[in-house]
Amino acid sequence: MKDVEVTVMRFDPQIDDEPKYESFQIEAKKNMTVLDSLFLIVEDQDPSLSFRCACRLGMCGSCGMVINGRGRLACRTKIEHLGDKILVQPMRNMDVIKDLAVNMDSFFQNWEKVKPYFVPKEDTDEFAIIPPSSGRREIIDENQDCITCGLCFQSCNTVSLRGVDEFIGPAALNRAYNLIADERDGARDERLDMVVETDGAFGCRSFSACVEVCPKGIKPMATIQKIKMKQLKRAIGMKW
């Protein structure tokens, strides 16, 4: 075990004018995560500390935070990799509900703008099947593991600079590409129209922060470039 200082941003918008920082000393055991340390603080030192979590396995994406200056899932971030001083802050680009819990409405509202669900084609009643040997599935398979944690959104400098209403963010664009690239989908043209304006793919400034923080290894910046290429091909009459 070792002593670790965990400094947490505290802010309750209902009673506080400005955020403040509070430090807690904990005894960190091997393989303890940042989320474990927050539970220790709640149980032993300050039960008023607020944060969000669910599965504790890196699957639900609900414990996204900024840990030592970088967006991470608290349940998958081990203290032993961070040193003796840890700074925990809420995700950026979203309003703070209390302490480390943020309101993700803006993230999911932008997600909904791309019509993020499969739309069957109207001219067939049969199941849409991609043969396993066709190679077409690999086009989108690597981008299917998004858990909508919002880490790419909170790390996106374009969202920070332009605002959540002026750029829909990397997660929504990544989801849009998955469906645009799926030839079984019946709304590919409509969806491509939705994401090629300046608040969509062509608003991306390729800062690459989204790639650096994704806990699933997805590369939204690459899929955004693919959306741009599909639009350019469509514009000059090429098959896209």
Question: Where residue 66 falls among pLDDT bands split at 50, 70, 90?
Answer: very high
Q: Please, are residues 218 and 146 in contact by the beta-carbon 8 Å criterion?
A: yes
> Structural domains in the chain?
2-102 (3.10.20.30), 105-235 (1.10.1060.10)
What's the confidence (pLDDT) of residue 125?
63
pTM score:
0.91
Q: Edge-to-edge strand order for the sheet containing 2-10?
A: 20-28, 2-10, 85-89, 64-67, 70-73
End-to-end CA distance of the chain: 57
Q: Residue 128 pLDDT more than 80? A: no
Alpha-carbon span 11 to 8, nearest angstrom: 10
Q: Calculate the average pLDDT of the chain.
A: 93
Per residue in 211-226, pLDDT tens?
999 999 999 999 999 9
Q: Residue 234 pLDDT more than 90? A: yes
